Amino acid sequence: MNILIVDDSMALRKILQRVIRNAGVTVGQIQEAADGQLALQCLEQFKPDVILSDINMPNMDGLELLKKLKGSETLKNLPVIMISTEASRERVMESIELGACNFIRKPFSEDDIREKFGLLAKK
């Protein structure tokens, strides 16, 4: 599985890579972007099977990225999992309504990642 991780924190991107591998997800290539704009640039070259995106980021936040992806003919079917401390019911619903396939609350454990990727594989 090819994965694009979008988060403005380098530390969080590193941790996500480690936790995804430790959770037993079969990983192909992982690429990283520090905000929504850089993610869109990355997607011109890289074809991930799933995007994990933070919400609260500078330049282009995760919800704006989600809107751009869902508005694109070529990218609209790409599964996006949002990951954020902003895990109020309203924020989760907003993400799902905009087209996210799931939501991970920070802090997260290996079990959380395993569960979300397991659901993705079933779909």
Partner 1 sequence: MSKQELDVDFLADAMRAAALEVFGTMLGIEIEPSVPTPGVAVASEDHGVVSLLGLTGEWTGSGGLCCSAECACWIASQMLFSEYPEVNDEVRDAVGEITNMIVGNFKNSIGSVTGPLGMSTPTVICGHDMTTTNSGAHEWIVFPFTSQEHSFRMMVQLQPARQLASRAHDSIHHMLLNQ
Q: Please give the residue ranges that form the binding site for partner 1 (CB under 8 A).
A: 8-12, 14-15, 18, 56-58, 84-88, 90, 106-109
CB closer to partner 1, 55 vs 78: 55
Beta carbon nearer to partner 1, 41 or 56: 56
Q: How far is the CB of 12 from partner 1 (least distance, A)?
A: 5
Cα separation, 35 vs 47, in Å, equals 17
Task: Give yes or no for a contact between 5 and 31, defined as CB atoms under 8 angstroms apart.
Answer: yes
Q: Give the nearer residue to partner 1 in terms of CB position, either 9 or 72.
A: 9
Take residue 114 and report the two structure tokens written for it.
């395993």
Q: Which CB sits closer to partner 1, 76 or 111?
A: 111
Cα dist from 9 to 14, 35, 42, 51, whole Å: 9, 9, 17, 16
Q: How far is the CB of 85 from partner 1 (least distance, A)?
A: 3
- What is d(CA 62, CA 80) in angstroms, rounded to the nearest whole number? 10
Closest separation between CB of residue 15 and partner 1, Å?
7
